[in-house]
Amino acid sequence: MSQQQFMQNPWSNWMKGEGPDSDIVISTRLRIARNLRQHPFPLLATDSQAEEVVRKVTEVSETEAMKKLGPLELIQMEQVNPLEKRVLVEKHLISPHLAEESRKGAVLLSNDESISIMVNEEDHIRIQVLMPGFQLQQAWDMGTKIDDIFEKHVNYAFDENRGFLTSCPTNVGTGIRASVMLHLPALVMTQQINRILQAINQVGLVVRGIYGEGSEALGNLFQLSNQVTLGMSESDILSNLYGVARQIIEQERVARRYLVEHSRITLEDRILRSYGILQYARTVESKEAAQRLSDVRLGIDLGIVKNISHLVLNELLVTTQPGFLQHHAGQKLSPDQRDERRARLIREKLSARQ
């Protein structure tokens, strides 16, 4: 797939699949941070040293073992304009840090965009695997397979006592971050979410917004991930995250049943009002769009809104973002222009599913 195709496709192919518990879990992500021994970390590297890292990573991506996993396309950040970088961030294919602050940064992408290998972000290599629904073990299996291939061809920065060495101390140890993107509207509506978030922080996990650290939880989407990478094995980290995520999934389902049984008219009114506004609004700003799309998605999962797949809502969560709207318009848009274009896009997508 060409660089332009990665930009034009409104959503990643992996998002089109139906994963386990996909009524609540939007996606699973596994990220592995690694650095190369005898190479300065990206924050201290010269341009030539950073270019050498890109060359080494590219060589590994072209080995037979990697080719068996499918072709990877190299995209150099220097060759991508700011708007295109924003699109890649909105599709969760690169981090905001790689888009804004990396020097000689690059990313290797698989055709279905389920594999994303960032180069010269905070660390030399950040292997990312994305899967639909709740698939922690499957994501880990793929991530560790890629990690093993790299380890056969490069020397990782590793300490016998501390584990894998990373730029940020919070990643030292296993170097892995596993996360699940959860849609939790019922827990928000029943005002249980704050209590749950406080409890999560006490078990070595953290909740972030839709684009990770420092981002906002738009549309009732919360990213649950491990906070500790040192002093725990990979299996312990995954087991802890899996167990807590499973509890939250069940609590969200209980909250949904409660709303249906005790506040059905109020719930239907909220969902159908949002559906009606999205069907007919001529302008809608991004936060309102995220919230109303969340309402409609809940309505789909509860059978209140029919004849629309929640996969359409997944697509709209990406295509209604500012970067995507402007990229497809072929020009920079004012906030008012983006709001008008966003509303039109949502109307078109919803009417096409009638």
Check whether 179 is labelled as a binding-site residue.
yes
Same-domain check for residues 270 and 225: no
Among 194, 224, 255, the domain-final residue is 255
As a whole number, mean pLDDT of residues 150-157 equals: 96
Check whether 219 is labelled as a binding-site residue.
no
Q: Counting beta carbons within 10 angstroms of the beta carbon of residue 319, is it exposed (0 to 12), middle (13 to 18) or buried (19 or more)? A: buried
Question: How many other β-carbons are positioned within 10 Å of the β-carbon of residue 195?
Answer: 10
Q: What is the mean pLDDT of the chain?
A: 90
**210: pLDDT strictly greater than 80:** no
pLDDT of residue 209: 67
Same-domain check for residues 274 and 224: no
Same-domain check for residues 218 and 277: no
pLDDT of residue 214: 47
Among 233, 255, 277, the domain-final residue is 255
Same-domain check for residues 245 and 271: no
Check whether 114 is labelled as a binding-site residue.
no
As a whole number, mean pLDDT of residues 231-246 equals: 93
- What letters, b where the CB count within 10 A reaches 16 and e where it falls short, cover 255-282? bbeebeeeeeeebbebbeebbebbeebe
Same-domain check for residues 249 and 269: no
**232: pLDDT strictly greater than 80:** yes
Check whether 210 is labelled as a binding-site residue.
yes
Which is more confidently placed, 168 or 289? 289
Could you give the count of Cα atoms lying within 13 Å of 302 in the half-sphere of its Cβ?
24
pTM, entire model: 0.90
Check whether 28 is labelled as a binding-site residue.
yes
CA distances from 264 to 183, 185, 197, 254 (A): 19, 15, 26, 14
Same-domain check for residues 201 and 328: no
Same-domain check for residues 221 and 132: yes
What band does 6 get if pLDDT is binned at 50, 70 and 90?
low
pLDDT of residue 243: 96
**2: pLDDT strictly greater than 80:** no
**324: pLDDT strictly greater than 50:** yes
Same-domain check for residues 201 and 297: no
Q: What is the CATH number of the domain that holds 75?
A: 3.30.590.10
**354: pLDDT strictly greater than 60:** no
Which is more confidently placed, 205 or 353? 205
Decide: 103 and 116 in contact? Cβ < 8 Å: no
Check whether 57 is labelled as a binding-site residue.
no
Check whether 181 is labelled as a binding-site residue.
yes
What band does 9 get if pLDDT is binned at 50, 70 and 90?
low
Residue 254's contacts (CB-CB under 8 Å, 6 or more residues apart) are none
Q: 155 by DSSP, 3-state: which?
A: coil
Check whether 209 is labelled as a binding-site residue.
yes
Same-domain check for residues 250 and 308: no
**18: pLDDT strictly greater than 70:** yes
Same-domain check for residues 129 and 75: yes
CA 69 to chain CA centroid, nearest Å: 21
Check whether 180 is labelled as a binding-site residue.
yes
Percentage of the residues of the chain whose pLDDT score is greater than 70: 92
Residue-number span of the structural domain to which 193 is assigned: 3-255
**67: pLDDT strictly greater than 90:** yes
Check whether 212 is labelled as a binding-site residue.
yes
